[in-house]
Amino acid sequence: MGSLSPSINPRLVSQANSYDLVSFRRVFGPVLTGPQARPDMTGACRRSRRRAVYAKKNANEDFVNCDSEWKSKFKEDFEKRFNIPHISDFFPDAASYPSTFCLSMRTPINEEFAEGYPSDEEWYGYINNDDRVLLKVIRYSSLSSAGAECIDPDCTWVEQWIHRAGPREKIYFKPENVKAAIVTCGGLCPGLNDVIRQIVITLEIYGVKKIVGIPFGYRGFGKEIDEIPLSRKVVQNVHLSGGSLLGVSRGGPSLDEIVDSMEDRGINMLFVLGGNGTHAGANLIHNECIKRGLKVAVVGVPKTIDNDILLMDKTFGFDTAVEEAQRAINAAYIEAHSAYRGIGIVKLMGRSSGFIAMHASLASGQIDICLIPEVPFELQGSHGVLNHLKYLLETKGSAVICVAEGAGQSFLEKTNAKDASGNVVLGDIGVHIQQEVKKYFKEMGNPTDVKYIDPTYMIRACRANASDGILCTVLGQNAVHGAFAGYSGITVGICNTHYVYLPITEVISYPKIVDQNSRMWHRCLTSTGQPDFL
């Protein structure tokens, strides 16, 4: 799946410890001048040709060349970028119909019903297309405030509204003409079966009879793999186990082959469950369908245990992954606490597992050192991890380290190897730290008892907990509502406790990483009591 593999363009132009948040390229049209200008979140003022998104905290220079109308221009640009694509944008003659998702209709439609859908004007469960949810709810007064996300040096407050998710009174697909397909891509994640189940059930409530699953990710669009018929009867109890009913994989056919397959199979609704790379592929599929004049709704559902999808409170699978990680952390703690000069090391899997490591550290209360990719550290030296371990053994007799998979890659030999999705294969930092710890204390003449625990796929393959189960249920339902409402090239998520629709282009625009100045990282440092390892 070469053409779909580059998940997102690397837009990480600075480390989180230099700026409030990561920087990304977005030319802000008329607000900025200069050939290489990079905006603040608003792009309000231009200080230089290489201005990053957020102002440096330690910089006091005045901004120059401010546009007096930047605030209104920012609002216009924001509304344009976050306007979710609709079928009618590309097919002006697209007809709408009264929704079949109503209280008076809870059984599949029949032929007599096909041309005269019943309206349910008495029901107040529909979402108005103009309903919005506030993206940012904190008004920061200063750049020096912890975790500040400011638009300009004065931390000007600008309301940013995004589309509310839910069923609409008008739909743009006749249920009897819909063939819906569901595909799960990437690695396993708790909750996949829950989402599949809810998509199928909600589709049937709308009246859809042709529902299929595409096996093994995008690879299933190949001619050698048959689709799987789905119905409520098939998916009724799939949420009681982990994994994916449809299977997962990385890589797959080219973009043209995927869309050719969709066209041949008559698929006009595609629900894509996956992370950043998968969503990038879904956006390409959406664009190609529009290019070919195919009236197809492509809707994403963010799936990642790493919780590294932009703009969302959390993604499904994350809570379960953190909860499951507690088992490994508790085992490491007991092993370390029970041994003479015991050290427990837990490596948590995930390309952006810093979020898991932080939350697991907070939840367990048993972690002494938390190492994540976004915060650099040294092993050696007076301020290094090993010296702090020595202090911990002298003062409390044992220690537990939680290390995220992507942390400390600078200590490991780079192979430049990539997986089928084009992601760089990470070195095993857990094993490296284990070896360095043993070596350090052996050379000191005070060997330690080191226990290394790598739960790896145990975190991914387990069944979703109650919290994730509820999240999956609502995400699956809203994905179907969005497709029937005529939206495509969108993904569904939760923002400030409300469910929203977002353009896929925005959620994949740059990598989401841990902000060193965030309250979450500060809480983690307080919980572990660890110093700055630099």
Catalytic hit among 77, 306, 319, 468: 306
486 belongs to an annotated ligand binding site: no
11 belongs to an annotated ligand binding site: no
305 belongs to an annotated ligand binding site: yes
CB 475 within 8 A of CB 301: yes
460 belongs to an annotated ligand binding site: yes
405 belongs to an annotated ligand binding site: yes
Q: How many helices (H) and strands (E) does the chain have?
A: 14, 15
444 belongs to an annotated ligand binding site: no
473 belongs to an annotated ligand binding site: no
CB 318 within 8 A of CB 355: yes
Q: What is the DSSP string of 146-190?
A: TT---SSTT------EEEEPS--SEESS-GGG-EEEEEE-SS--T
350 belongs to an annotated ligand binding site: yes
> Taking the chain, what is the end-to-end CA distance rounded to the nearest angstrom?
41
268 belongs to an annotated ligand binding site: no
482 belongs to an annotated ligand binding site: no
213 belongs to an annotated ligand binding site: no
- As given in the structure block, the two tokens for residue 362 are 């907070």
269 belongs to an annotated ligand binding site: no
275 belongs to an annotated ligand binding site: yes
Q: Residue 511 and residue 528: Cα distance in Å, rounded?
A: 26
The torsion angle over the Cα atoms of residues 92, 94, 96 and 99, rounded to 10 degrees, is: -120
Residue 455 sits at φ, ψ, to 5 deg, of -75, -15
Judge whether 131 counts as a catalytic residue: no
Q: Using alpha carbons only, give the angle 115, 118, 121 rounded to the nearest 5 degrees.
A: 145
127 belongs to an annotated ligand binding site: no
SS3 at position 403 = strand
Which among 281, 268, 61 is positioned nearest to 174, based on CA atoms? 268
Q: Residue 514 and residue 406: Cα distance in Å, rounded?
A: 12
Range 409-413, long-range pairs (CB < 8 A, 24+ positions): 409/373, 410/376, 411/379
- As given in the structure block, the two tokens for residue 276 are 């950043």
In the numeric block, the tokens 């090993």 are attached to: 386
197 belongs to an annotated ligand binding site: no
Q: Residue 280 and residue 505: Cα distance in Å, rounded?
A: 8
Q: Residue 145 and residue 155: Cα distance in Å, rounded?
A: 10
SS3 at position 455 = coil
497 belongs to an annotated ligand binding site: no
Q: Residue 516 and residue 418: Cα distance in Å, rounded?
A: 28
Residues facing residue 123 across a β-bridge: none
Packing angle between helix 385-396 and helix 429-443, nearest 10 degrees?
60
- 116 CB-near residues (< 8 Å, 6+ apart): none
Residues facing residue 98 across a β-bridge: 170
Positions annotated as catalytic residues are 306
Binding site listing for substrate:
304-306, 349-351, 405, 457-460
Binding site listing:
187, 250-251, 275-278, 304-306, 349-351, 405, 457-460
Binding site listing for ATP:
187, 250-251, 275-278
Binding site listing for Mg(2+):
276
